[in-house]
Structure 1
Amino acid sequence: MQWQDEAIIIGVRRHGETSVIAELMTRERGRHLGIVRSGRSRSMQPVLQPGNRVEAVWRARLDEHMGEFKLEPLQLRAAKLMETATAVYGVQAMGALLRLLPERDPHPHLFEALDIILDAMDDPADAGQLFIRFELAVLNDLGYGLDLTECAATGSRDDLVYVSPKSGRAVSREAGAPYADRMLALPAFLGEGRPPVVDRDTLVQAFRLTGYFLNRHVYEPRGLTESSSRDGFVQAALKAVSKQAE
């Protein structure tokens, strides 16, 4: 068995004396693991860093085997990602999100999103809102997508400012007013036809929104806890956005 695909490295762990097991997010085959022989060599270590984009050739005798990777670098951006706390935590947090999905389950749109977000990590406001959209996309692929396009009570697409914590659907200001203290806020940049203004307050709302549904539908049922890298990313992004606004 053999295939070739573009991929982004999301994790590496030691295997034996000289090899590693690389965890990749591939464009067409989802999250995939494989052994890289001599992966701990001086020539391969710079390639095998999270966030780098590579061309991967996978070989195995049978499809169900772990198999081996041969990797060629396409974009070595790990050094740039290590320059800010937002980027360091961001690549780790997105890797943790991808591990919630079944291995070898294709999600080409998540590969594309990951690639775009990694290139935007130098701007914390852009990185923050793109990360939120990535979490929403993962929730959707897990079967828990939110409907933020129209009011759950009236069907209206106007003045949507809340999200129901029960249904995960948007609610208009008027319909949600009697239950405002029980509602989650809908960040302005997630609303259709609304300006994509991203400041600290809207990011706080957004992180609370996706965090709530990830905990409710994914982490708690599986007996998991939110990754520490997500908390690190949230704090780093909020701090950076606040500093930009000064």
Structure 2
Amino acid sequence: MEWRDEGLIIGTRKHGENAVIVEAMTTRHGRHLGLVRGGRSRRFAALLQPGNTVELNWRARLEDHLGAYTVEAKSLRAAELMQSRDRLSLSQLICEHLRVLPERDPHPRLLAEANAMHDNQADGYSLGCAIAKFEMRLLDELGFGIDAGSCALTGEQSGLSYVSPKTGRAVTAEAAKPYLDKLMRLPHIFGGALDLSEKDELEAAFALTEHFLNMHIWLPRQLSPPSARERLIKTICNGL
């Protein structure tokens, strides 16, 4: 078995005396692991870093084996990321999110967004929107996204303002009035009609994604939220 693909390195771990197991999110083969022999040598030190995009050639005797990678540089971002605490936190958050995806299941659109965020120098509100949309895309592709197509109570498609934390269904402001204490705000970022400040928009968006990530992914798998997430979100929101 053999294939060649582009991938974003999202994790590495030592194996044996001088090898490294590289975990990469690839375009056509999804989240995929492979062994890099000699990966702990100086030659590979700058290359095998999370956040770098590389060309991968994978070989194995059988499809379900771990297999071995040969790696070529394509976009080496790691050194630049380490110069900014916020950019490094962003990369760590993206990589941690991608690691919850099923192994060998392609998600090319999610990978494209991950690469774009690594390369984009946006900050503040724009960066916050990109992160929130990425988290919602992750939920969507895992089958746990919110339903903001129409009101769960009236069927109306406009004026959607709140979301049920249990079902993920959206409702209009009018229909929500008897249940406001039980609902979550639906920000404009996700198609909501509420008139919110930029800071409130982001706080509402991150509250939604955190709630459903916790409900459907972190708690069932006994995972903690990515350590970089809270600090990065706090930095962004406090700067608005």
TM-score, with structure 1 as normaliser: 0.89
**1:57 matches 2:57:** yes
Overall identity of the aligned pairs, in %: 45
Q: Is the 8 A contact 2:36 2:69 kept in 1?
A: yes
Instruction: Please name the residue that 2:27 is paired with.
Output: 27
**Are 2:182 and 1:215 equivalent residues in the alignment?**
no
**Could you list the per-position Cα deviations for residues 41-74 of structure 1 after superposition, in whole angstroms to 9, with x for gaps in the alignment?**
2221111111111111001111111111111111
* Counterpart code for 1:41: S
Q: Are residues 121 and 153 of structure 1, via their aligned partners in 2, closer, same or farther at CA, if it must alter by over 3 Å?
A: farther
1:24 touches 1:32 (CA, 8 Å); kept in 2?
yes
Partner of 1:82 in structure 2?
Answer: 82
1:193–1:238 Cα change, 3 Å: closer
* SS at structure 2 position matched to 1:25: strand
Q: Distance in 2 between matches of 1:94 and 1:198?
A: 26
User: 2:58 and 2:207 mapped to 1: Cα distance?
Assistant: 39
Figure out how many residues of one structure are paired with residues of the other and give that number: 240
Note the residue ranges of structure 2 that are not aligned, 5 or more in a row: none
Distance 2:28 2:197 in 1: 32
Is the Cα contact below 8 Å between 2:34 and 2:68 reproduced in 1?
yes
Cα root mean square deviation, aligned? 2.1
TM alignment of 1:1-246, pairs within 5 A: 1-191=1-191, 199-239=198-238, 242=239, 245=240
1:15-39 residue CA offsets vs partner (Å, 9 max, x unmatched): 2222211110000111011111221
Gaps (5+ residues) in structure 1? Answer: none
Change (3 A) 1:50 1:9: same
Contact 1:51 1:91 in 2 (8 A): yes
Amino acid at match of 1:157: Q
Query: Which residue identity is paired with 1:14?
Result: K
Alignment CA distance shift 1:216-1:121 (3 Å): farther
Which stretches of structure 1, 4 residues or more, deviate above 6 A after TM superposition? 192-195
Deviation at 1:212, TM superposition (A): 0.5
1:85–1:236: 8 Å Cα contact kept in structure 2?
no
**Deviation by residue 1:210-238 (Cα, 9 ceiling, x = unmatched):** 00011112222223222222223322332
Give 1:107 deviation, angstroms: 1.3
Q: Secondary structure at the match of 2:45?
A: coil
**Cα distance per residue 1:177-210 (max 9 Å; x no partner):** 2211211111122217999x98222111111100
Structure 1 counterpart SS, 2:129: helix
In structure 2, give the amino acid aligned to 1:39: G
Q: Aligned equivalents of 1:190 and 1:163: distance in 2?
A: 11
Residues 150-159 or 186-195, more deviating: 186-195
- Secondary structure at 2:234's aligned position in 1? helix
Aligned residues of 1:163 and 1:169 also touching (Cα < 8 A): yes
Q: Is the 8 A contact 1:39 1:48 kept in 2?
A: yes
Please report the TM-score for the alignment, with normalisation by the length of structure 2.
0.91
CA distance in 2, matches of 1:194, 1:149: 16
State the distance in 1 between where 2:212 and 2:28 align. 27
